[in-house]
Amino acid sequence: MRTSSPNPKRSLPVALLLFLAFAAVAYTPPPLYRRNTNLQQASTCKECHLAITEQWERSPHARAERTQNLLFGRMYFQSLKATRGATMLNCGPCHETTLFVNQDFFFTRDISHEGVTCVFCHMVSAPGPSTGIPPYELDLEHYYGSVRNSIPTTSHQSGYSTYLRTSEYCGACHSYANQNGVKISETYAEWKRSKYAKQGVTCQSCHMPGAPGRISYLGPARPKVPDHSFSAELAEKARPGAAATVALRAVRNRANDSLVVSAVVTNTGWGHSLPTGNDQNMAIIRLRVLTEAGAIVWESDPFADWNNSVFGVTLADELGSWPAETWAATRVLQNRRIKAGGSATARYRVPVGDQKGPYRVEAQLLFRRARPNTLETYGLSEETYGAERVLAEASIRVP
């Protein structure tokens, strides 16, 4: 991140920003260095950009900071202690975006609780130096958008930037390495290698669709009001057809005491790997075999069958233990994310004993945002952080 502004008093060299960031971990920075930049909160924008603000309020972006997203918050806190503050710059700036602009490291301002907020995303004028986290050039005087001829308003100056329409813009935050240089998220690179990049289907095409309307009640009708809710449903519906599928095959073995089942998962509509992003994200298969009357004969346990039923990335730490924490990892042990357009197969040998057929085999592909051991480590609720959301289902009958 680098800030630039026509008024020299309002610009701060990167080196000083870095120094302040580290200093804040160890001791209270001298008030002299505090910036008095008064960034506008989302509630200000709401007056004139009502629909967009209401969508953003519901979005994961609005909850990315430590007090609202406890998965991030507790992990971040633990990592700061364990690395003596090294993760402050390596983790903080994308989740708590305004802190590093107005130096409010003690959360004295309400805007500090807004996570990935309006002003941060819209002060981005261009890509910045590749070493920046995130690598942006910020211009505090304008709010940039993709409307070339926006009408003037007394509330703010507007700027036109084609950058906001690109995948590179989202990719600047949606790819990251930890302080050990281990690539944690590669969403942008996964997209770049996919057919979508070649077809010009950007992150925004799937995640920020929009209908004609007004971007502000004060302005004219415009061809597209981009949706800011960043929900899973929105992305799933953005293109025709299912975004992910699971297909089952089952046969009896020779001895007739087991079923040999395969579940083929295909990433049909995610614009990147399935799952993508943080290493906690995973897709799992839960399989069960039932009698025709509905009695359960057998159920899989995905976490006892990690290399088969769990799709995602596994990190290892210095001692080789896995799965390692996002911030403790020193290498990627295994990458089982399913590429855009690709498939992967999970295989099962299901003992049915002398249970007579016919059977019904059911499989669910589920999305989970955190591993069971992570919930334990950080004392997170199973309900919120361990919930499993259905991405696809299949069921077949075995005579």
Amino acid at position 139, single letter: D
Sign of CA dihedral 197, 198, 201, 202: positive
Nearer CB in complex with ligand HEC: 341/351: 341
Sign of CA dihedral 368, 373, 379, 382: positive
Of the candidate spans 11-19, 143-151, 290-298, 316-324, the one that interacts with ligand HEC by CB under 6 A turns out to be: 143-151
Nearer CB in complex with ligand HEC: 391/394: 391
* Residues in 154-213 that interact with ligand HEC by CB under 6 A: 155-156, 158, 160, 164-165, 167, 169-171, 173-174, 176, 178, 185, 187-188, 191, 196, 201, 203-208
Of the candidate spans 13-21, 113-121, 286-294, 345-353, the one that interacts with ligand HEC by CB under 6 A turns out to be: 113-121
Is residue 50 a contact residue for ligand HEC (CB under 6 A)? Answer: no
Nearer CB in complex with ligand HEC: 183/288: 183
Nearest to 362 by CA among 308, 298, 317, 284: 298
Nearer CB in complex with ligand HEC: 17/173: 173
Among 145, 342, 357, 386, binds ligand HEC (CB under 6 A): 145
Nearer CB in complex with ligand HEC: 45/361: 45
Nearer CB in complex with ligand HEC: 133/261: 133
Q: Are 340 and 270 in contact (CB under 8 A)?
A: yes
Closest contact distance (angstroms) between CB of 391 and ligand HEC is: 6
Among 101, 118, 310, 324, binds ligand HEC (CB under 6 A): 118
CA distance 15 to 17: 5
Is residue 24 a contact residue for ligand HEC (CB under 6 A)? Answer: no
Among 74, 183, 193, 222, binds ligand HEC (CB under 6 A): 222
CA distance 27 to 34: 14
Among 20, 21, 64, 259, binds ligand HEC (CB under 6 A): 64
Nearer CB in complex with ligand HEC: 3/352: 3
Closest contact distance (angstroms) between CB of 93 and ligand HEC is: 6
* Residues in 69-108 that interact with ligand HEC by CB under 6 A: 69, 71-72, 75-76, 79, 87, 90-91, 94-95, 97
User: Which residue's Cβ has the minimum distance to ligand HEC?
Assistant: 271
Q: Are 219 and 50 in contact (CB under 8 A)?
A: no
CA distance 128 to 223: 30
Nearer CB in complex with ligand HEC: 262/330: 330
Q: Are 152 and 237 in contact (CB under 8 A)?
A: no
Is residue 52 a contact residue for ligand HEC (CB under 6 A)? Answer: yes
Closest contact distance (angstroms) between CB of 321 and ligand HEC is: 17
CA distance 393 to 246: 6
Closest contact distance (angstroms) between CB of 9 and ligand HEC is: 22
301 conformational bin, left if phi > 0, alpha if psi -120 to 50, beta if neither:
beta
**Exposed/middle/buried for residue 119 (C-beta within 10 Å: 0-12, 13-18, 19+):** buried
CA distance 319 to 316: 8
Q: List C-alpha distances in Å: 348 to 286, 287, 299, 310.
A: 11, 9, 11, 13
Is residue 116 a contact residue for ligand HEC (CB under 6 A)? Answer: yes
CA distance 91 to 316: 18
* Residues in 243-302 that interact with ligand HEC by CB under 6 A: 243, 269-272, 275-278, 280-281
Written as six digits, the tokens of 337 are: 């994310």
Is residue 311 a contact residue for ligand HEC (CB under 6 A)? Answer: no
CA distance 50 to 347: 50
